[in-house]
Amino acid sequence: MKTSNLKKRIVMFHIGRGGRFHNEGHLTFVVFNKIDECHDWQQNTFSKDRDEKGRFCNPYLTDCSGNVLMDADQYHEAIEIGIGILNFDNEYDTTYTTYTDELSVAELEAMSENPYYGVDEILEAYEYEA
């Protein structure tokens, strides 16, 4: 399957523990969504519009502990376009979005392993042209 034949669309992946031995770095296809539609975004992040001195600034995104997940530019891109990365711990809990025309071989394989979408549904969703 050539990714150049895929309709450009946003897809979401999660990197965490998984596979037979629950190893770290396991890539899973989540769904066809923008990053701000992610469950982790909605439940575990906060939009801040003040800096550490209490002055107004461009909005940015933090986790529950106040760690910055996205600076103002990344946050704006995530809201406007839907592309972004939520990296909560630098090891096992990362969710990200990308365009279908930029998919790697590993991402295509993760999509084919998803139990909720068969190959036909994925190709249909992309309007794949052979």
89-124 pLDDT per residue, tens: 776 788 899 988 888 888 888 888 877 766 566 656
| 100 assigned to some structural domain | yes
| 35 assigned to some structural domain | yes
Model confidence at 4: pLDDT above 80? no
| 32 assigned to some structural domain | yes
| 56 assigned to some structural domain | no
| 121 assigned to some structural domain | yes
The whole-number pLDDT of residue 102 equals 86
Could you identify the residue written with the tokens 């629950």? 22
pTM (predicted TM-score)? 0.75
| 12 assigned to some structural domain | yes
| 29 assigned to some structural domain | yes
| 37 assigned to some structural domain | yes
Reported as type and span, the H/E element at residue 8 is: none
User: What is the number of domains present in the chain?
Assistant: 1
Residue range of the domain that includes 118: 3-43+83-126
Average pLDDT score over residue span 72-82: 91
Are 70 and 60 spatial neighbours (Cβ–Cβ below 8 Å)?
yes
- For the chain, list the strands marked E by DSSP: 10-18, 23-31, 45-50, 56-63, 68-70, 85-87, 94-99
